[in-house]
Structure 1
Amino acid sequence: MMMQSLTTEQWLERLHTDGLRPSMQELMYYRTKLPAFARHQRQLPASSQSGALLSKTRGRGMEFDEVRHYQPGDDVRSIDWRVTARTGKAHTKLYREEKDRPVYIVVDLALTQLFGSQLLFKSVQACHLASALAWQTLQRGDKVGGIISNGWLQKEYKPSLQHKSVMHFLRGLLEIHQDSFVRWQQQSAPHVAPLSDSIEHLTHLVKPGSLINLISDFEHLDNSSLEQLARLNTRSSVRTFKLYDPMEQTLPEGYSSQPLSVHDGERQAMVNLNNVRQRRDYQQQATNELTRLSERFKHYRLPMTLVSSAVALEQQWPELR
């Protein structure tokens, strides 16, 4: 059976998901998909600041190795003044080239992400993407770390080459998504700017030469956060993935005289699907908002890739590189 011919129900069964809440089984699913993704790893982007798969050695820095006695010809800028002052003899810091690149996966699970009209909630697709990137990074021999936040809870994971570290990261996704899901069911009041908190924390965490994957719907994104990302992008590589649902862009044509209640985790609205003018105005406003967001990212020279919650991730993967 061709993947394109699968029904929504068949895709849900294939992905081991109900589309509402992720499970460990479905996140582990992407570990088995790495061979299918491998061909995309060999394709480098045209620009060093865009695209999903960058050169493994780009941006590598030097990390501290050891201290030894100063020798004639050593760079005086490498003198360790603390050790020199403590011992009374000049010592030099030695560095070695980093062999593995730190890769950070930052996942925003704000309540606005708990929306979906066809296959998955945006939040579930965000978890799928984070899992796929984590397994791919580990297979490539780079360190995996990241930040997961929903505005109430935040978890930080230091970059590591260990399989168990990826498992800890995946469990963090499940835990914070569950917290978001409960708050969504209870219609909890929205928390302030979870994404800006993660980005602020990221600026103090990331080492030069790292790769940053930022996954969000960017409903809570201010210019200050964009400026911080732009600064990070000058010494590391930043990729952004915007989660969206087709219904956020275009309302379906309806056949009911009763208005449809739509809730995105924070705001609720009543829409009449039979009202052609309302559907047209809705689509125009959504198009304008997406255009403005794209222009803001271009202004700060940040690449943005759209990821639909209505299509299985593996069907979109060629467009995510």
Structure 2
Amino acid sequence: MPMQKLTTEQWLERLHTDGLQPNMQELMYYRTKLPAFARHQRQLPASSQSGALLSKTRGRGMEFDEVRHYQPGDDVRSIDWRVTARTGKAHTKLYREEKDRPVYIVVDLALTQLFGSQLLFKSVQACHLASALAWQTLQRGDKVGGIISNGWLQNEYKPSLQHKSVMHFLRGLTEVHQDSLQRWQQQTPPHPAPLNQSIEHLTHLVKPGSLINVISDFEHIETKTLEQLARLNTRSSVRSFKLFDPMEQQLPAGYSSQPLSIHDGERQAMVNLNNARQRLDYHQRAMSEFEQLFERFNQYRLPLTRVSSAIALEQQWPELR
């Protein structure tokens, strides 16, 4: 049965998931999707609002090879200024290509991610995306590592080529998500900035030439964190994936005369779904905030790709090329 014809219930049954808490079986599912990965382009995003889910670009290798005269088109960041100053002529450092590029997957499982109106929680979709990237990276022959955090727990995984390391990473996704789910059910106030902490820690781990995938809803991203990502992007390749749910942008028309209570963990408001004006105001404000986030990423020349929690991940691959 083709995936696009599956109902929500059938898709959840196929992955043996309830959409609220990921399990190892559904994360292992993406290992079987590698042939589908290969059918799509593997280029880095070309703009702030579009980009690839998967990348084959390895970038500059990290093992120094030799120095030669600068040639038009050479990366100015590779100029050897000491040799240039000594000889009076521009020289460029050459590097030997890395065969096992480190790939970091940073997964933000903040409590703001535990929301979903149709298929999955954003947090569960984040785990699916992290799993897909991990399996594809391992299949490509690159090292897989990363950071998984919800603010209270922060698990670090050193880049590795081993299958068991990916399994360890996937178990970390389920464990940290379970902790987030329990805190959410207990109505624990959201941690203020788990992603900001993860990126701060990442700056001390990443070596130049790495590929960094950041998965979050970026609800509380700070300017300092964007600046850190921009600096990392000058020495490595940074890709960011914005998780969102359609209801965060557009409220459905009312089916009840009772107001809907909306709560983001900090503020609460009542919205009458039968009131077209309130729905329009909600939509306009949501889209304005959405556009502002993309503008902030674009300001720092950071690619940002949207990933919906309401659509099966594999159905989004063509749009994420």
Q: TM-score, normalised by structure 1?
A: 0.86
Change (3 A) 1:314 1:266: farther
CA RMSD across the alignment? 2.1
Equivalent runs, 1:220-259 vs 2, <5 Å: 220-259=220-259
- Which residue of the partner structure matches residue 44 of structure 1? 43
**Cα separation, 2, equivalents of 1:155 and 1:147:** 6
Equivalent runs, 1:271-310 vs 2, <5 Å: 271-310=271-310
Change (3 A) 1:97 1:17: same
Tell whether the 8 Å contact from 1:115 to 1:265 is kept in structure 2 after alignment.
no
Tell whether the 8 Å contact from 1:148 to 1:172 is kept in structure 2 after alignment.
yes
Tell whether the 8 Å contact from 2:61 to 2:97 is kept in structure 1 after alignment.
yes
Deviation (angstroms), 1:55 = 4.0
Structure 1, unmatched stretches of 5+, are 65-76, 78-94
- Which residue of the partner structure matches residue 87 of structure 2? none
- Which residue of the partner structure matches residue 14 of structure 1? 14
Kindly provide the amino acid, as one letter, of the partner of residue 231 in structure 1. R
- Which residue of the partner structure matches residue 165 of structure 1? 165
1:62 aligns with 2:63: yes
SS in 1 for 2:207: coil
Listed one character per residue, the Cα deviations across residues 77-128 of structure 1 (whole Å, up to 9, x for unaligned) are 9xxxxxxxxxxxxxxxxx9753210000000000000000000000000000
Tell whether the 8 Å contact from 1:20 to 1:120 is kept in structure 2 after alignment.
yes
Tell whether the 8 Å contact from 1:252 to 1:273 is kept in structure 2 after alignment.
yes
Listed one character per residue, the Cα deviations across residues 207-233 of structure 1 (whole Å, up to 9, x for unaligned) are 000000000000010111000000000
**Cα separation, 1, equivalents of 2:47 and 2:187:** 42
**Cα separation, 2, equivalents of 1:48 and 1:273:** 36
**Cα separation, 2, equivalents of 1:312 and 1:51:** 16
1:314 aligns with 2:314: yes
Deviation (angstroms), 1:259 = 1.3
Tell whether the 8 Å contact from 1:63 to 1:98 is kept in structure 2 after alignment.
no
**Cα separation, 2, equivalents of 1:126 and 1:52:** 13
Q: Percent identity?
A: 79
Tell whether the 8 Å contact from 1:52 to 1:239 is kept in structure 2 after alignment.
no
Deviation (angstroms), 1:255 = 2.0
Change (3 A) 1:301 1:255: same
**Cα separation, 1, equivalents of 2:120 and 2:280:** 25
Tell whether the 8 Å contact from 1:106 to 1:198 is kept in structure 2 after alignment.
yes
Kindly provide the amino acid, as one letter, of the partner of residue 146 in structure 1. G
Listed one character per residue, the Cα deviations across residues 20-62 of structure 1 (whole Å, up to 9, x for unaligned) are 000100000101111111122x543475996444444312211
**Cα separation, 2, equivalents of 1:206 and 1:266:** 34
Q: Tell me which structure has the larger Cα radius of gyration.
A: 1
Kindly provide the amino acid, as one letter, of the partner of residue 303 in structure 1. P
Change (3 A) 1:191 1:63: farther
- Which residue of the partner structure matches residue 182 of structure 2? 182
**Cα separation, 2, equivalents of 1:56 and 1:278:** 46
1:217 aligns with 2:217: yes
- Which residue of the partner structure matches residue 150 of structure 1? 150
Tell whether the 8 Å contact from 1:107 to 1:149 is kept in structure 2 after alignment.
yes
Tell whether the 8 Å contact from 2:42 to 2:52 is kept in structure 1 after alignment.
no
Kindly provide the amino acid, as one letter, of the partner of residue 171 in structure 1. R
SS in 2 for 1:131: helix
**Cα separation, 1, equivalents of 2:32 and 2:53:** 19
**Cα separation, 2, equivalents of 1:242 and 1:46:** 13
Listed one character per residue, the Cα deviations across residues 281-314 of structure 1 (whole Å, up to 9, x for unaligned) are 0000000000100000110000000000000000
1:112 aligns with 2:119: no
Deviation (angstroms), 1:14 = 1.9
- Which residue of the partner structure matches residue 133 of structure 2? 133
Tell whether the 8 Å contact from 2:45 to 2:303 is kept in structure 1 after alignment.
no
Change (3 A) 1:12 1:58: same
Listed one character per residue, the Cα deviations across residues 7-26 of structure 1 (whole Å, up to 9, x for unaligned) are 11111112221000001000
**Cα separation, 1, equivalents of 2:232 and 2:275:** 45
